[in-house]
Chains A and B, each alone.
Chain A
Amino acid sequence: MLVTLTPKREESSPSSPPRSQRGHEFWRYGGVVPYLAFMALFLLIPAFSVLIGAFESNDGALTFSNLRIALSGPYLQSFVTSFELSVGSTVIAVVVGFVSALAVAATRGRPRALVQSSSSVLANTGGVPLAFAFIATIGNFGVVTKILSGMGLNIYAHGFSLYSVVGLIIVYQYFLIPVMILVMLGPIQNLRPAWVEAARTLGASKLRFWWSVGLPILSPALLSGTVVLFADAFAAYATAEALTSGTLPLVPIQIGSLISGNVAAGEANLGNALGLGMIVVVALAATVYVLSQRRASRWLR
């Protein structure tokens, strides 16, 4: 943020430290060291260890065989299953979340504040309790399952199972839809009333307004929402583990069972290769998110 380097910068820049504190560069930067050390110890070094381990054979030599195993057979299938789950749950949550955000933004007053605060609670809920709430609802003996079969519709006889990809897609909506609502509310409220008026004055139908004006303006926000939801669904572990006891082969669950000691001989670094795969997928998603955020800000002023 410091643009010019005039000699008087120290005196005039509002961000320069007060006179009495100057010159203690060591202490100044020293203040960040504990924080950075924490980040390094508990995030960066572990991530680096995964990265290195992915390319290491059991005796420490460079190898690509871990990655080859991770991208073949049952492990490749786990990436495919994780993708199906993430894409499926993202598509539904993006549409439902967007439509809900429109409905919420068009409502005035109290309901909107209520939806906003409960969305931010639900977006942070998830995890284990959610799994059991759905077991009680549409599990084998769930309340809704029983009600439906009382009405003559046995959903489990028709191929539905809560403990499958389809089941997880439903459960994930519980924390993904609120995230989407939160992502979209701001951009929707930033649509200028004048744009609606201008479009209507020029004879556009309501549908035409959304197609030609509304959606294009909201598209960066929609894209960034999509990416956030995808990464969220892809990395989620607790709900799936609690629901399926690790029987559904998702990438994070495969890594989990490798950690828990179900390691075949010679596969010690396979977990690292799978972990690297997850980092790459999530990092790609994060890059798209950052780029779309930049585009999104273009329309605001």
Chain B
Amino acid sequence: MTSPTDGLYLRQAGIGRGFRTLVLGAVGAFFLIPILASARYSVLGNHHHLTLSAYRSLFEDPNFRSSLELSLQVAIATVLLTGLLVIPTSIWVSVRIPKLRALLDVLSIVPLGVPSVVVVLGILGAYHGILNLILTSPFILAPIYVVLALPYSYRTFDTAVRSLDINTLVEAAQSLGASWSRTLVGVLLPNLRAGMIGALILAGAYALGEFVVASLLSFNTFPVYIVQIGLTAAAEAVAVSLVALLVAFVPLSLVAIVGGGRTKRRGVLATG
């Protein structure tokens, strides 16, 4: 992928070594300093001596455990639902109803146009009478997260589907006598594994980090817990934020590495 002439034309067009060092150094510092500062703050806080008390008191806080458990449960439910709903639908549509593909593409980016705070507003408005019962279970978060994470999960998986000559594979499998389920499990999923893992990790990461919906529907998920302890114990909140940021790097960089080669065409999307 890389060669000595890589980017040479840009260097010829004036993007010299000095420019690159200056820009990448400054921007790199901007991204590293908050991480380093958090690490320092979490062990010093407002004291003047080194202490791990912020980390220790976190583990002794029962709410730390329970909120983390709740977030993990909701994330697992989100991943399962995404796997059962989004992935089969994407395959089904591209094999059986290609006409609907454009529609699903558009639908998958609609959540970007409806801020999640507005989604909560709408859910409360539309279902407040009937769903008061359901809205008391934290698992109501999972289907909401499945939909809100679609711009990331669906599009990641869809890119993998598109990079595959899926109709040829299906016809080949079926002309050899494979059933539908056999085709899916034996042929399609192995070929789509990277895209599938990427989509599921993104859906799970979304669920783990989501704050707006959980907070407004009054569920004590992990991000909601961080904000709550932040009100009284800054060093603890910084400590747990630092861990959350670093932990997020592991699965998300897996997506970046696994999906890296194929995602050239993917629209770039982000969360706030």
Contacts and interface: CB of A to CB of B under 8 A. Distances in A.
Interface of A: 1-2, 14-15, 17-18, 20-21, 28-29, 31-32, 34-36, 38-39, 41-50, 53, 96, 99-100, 102-109, 111-113, 115-118, 120-137, 139, 141-144, 172-179, 182-183, 186, 188, 191-193, 196-197, 200, 206-207, 209-210, 214, 228, 231-239, 241-242, 245, 252, 255-256, 258-260, 271-272, 275, 278-279, 282-283, 286, 293
Contacts of B110: 39, 43-44
Contact of B256 (A36, A38, A48, A116): A116
Contact of A136 (B24, B34, B115): B34
Most chain A C-beta atoms within 10 Å of own C-beta, residue among B7, B89, B231: B7
B77 to A, nearest CB: 13
25 contacts: A2-B99, A21-B96, A32-B100, A39-B110, A43-B119, A45-B122, A46-B114, A49-B122, A102-B10, A108-B4, A117-B256, A118-B256, A120-B252, A124-B202, A124-B270, A132-B242, A133-B245, A136-B234, A137-B38, A177-B30, A179-B268, A196-B12, A237-B116, A241-B215, A286-B112
Nearest to B208: A127
B143 A42 contact: yes
A238 B224 CA distance: 10
Given A103-B19, A109-B2, A127-B211, A233 B272 contact: yes
B6 interface: yes
Contact of A255 (B88, B118, B248, B252): B118
A46 B96 contact: no
B256 A121 contact: yes
B20 A106 contact: yes
A298 to B, nearest CB: 15
A32 B95 CA distance: 12
Given A53-B125, A272-B125, A46 B272 contact: no
A142 B92 CA distance: 52
Contacts, number: 346
Contact of A46 (B40, B119, B227): B119
B200 interface: no
A231 B123 CA distance: 22
A242 B211 contact: yes
Contacts of B256: 116-118, 120-121
Given A228-B268, A278-B115, A256 B216 contact: yes
B31 A252 contact: no
Given A129-B241, A282-B112, A286-B112, A47 B122 contact: yes
A188 B15 CA distance: 12
Given A111-B24, A129-B242, A200 B12 contact: yes
B122 A143 contact: no
B34 A137 contact: yes
Given A43-B119, A46-B126, A255-B117, A136 B20 contact: no
A136 B38 contact: yes
Closest 6 CB pairs of A and B: A46-B122, A236-B272, A206-B14, A136-B41, A129-B241, A117-B256
A111 B167 CA distance: 38
Contact of B13 (A108, A209, A238): A209
Contact of A137 (B37, B115, B144, B248): B37
A240 to B, nearest CB: 9
B125 A129 contact: no
Interface in B228-272: 230-231, 234, 237-238, 240-242, 244-245, 248-249, 252-253, 255-257, 260, 264, 267-272
Contacts of A132: 38, 226, 230, 234, 237-238, 240-242
Contact of B252 (A103, A121, A235, A260): A121
B209 A242 contact: no
Contacts of A238: 211-212, 223, 272
Given A50-B118, A127-B211, A207-B14, 9 more contacts: A14-B168, A36-B107, A45-B126, A102-B23, A118-B249, A136-B34, A136-B37, A228-B270, A235-B272
B254 to A, nearest CB: 9
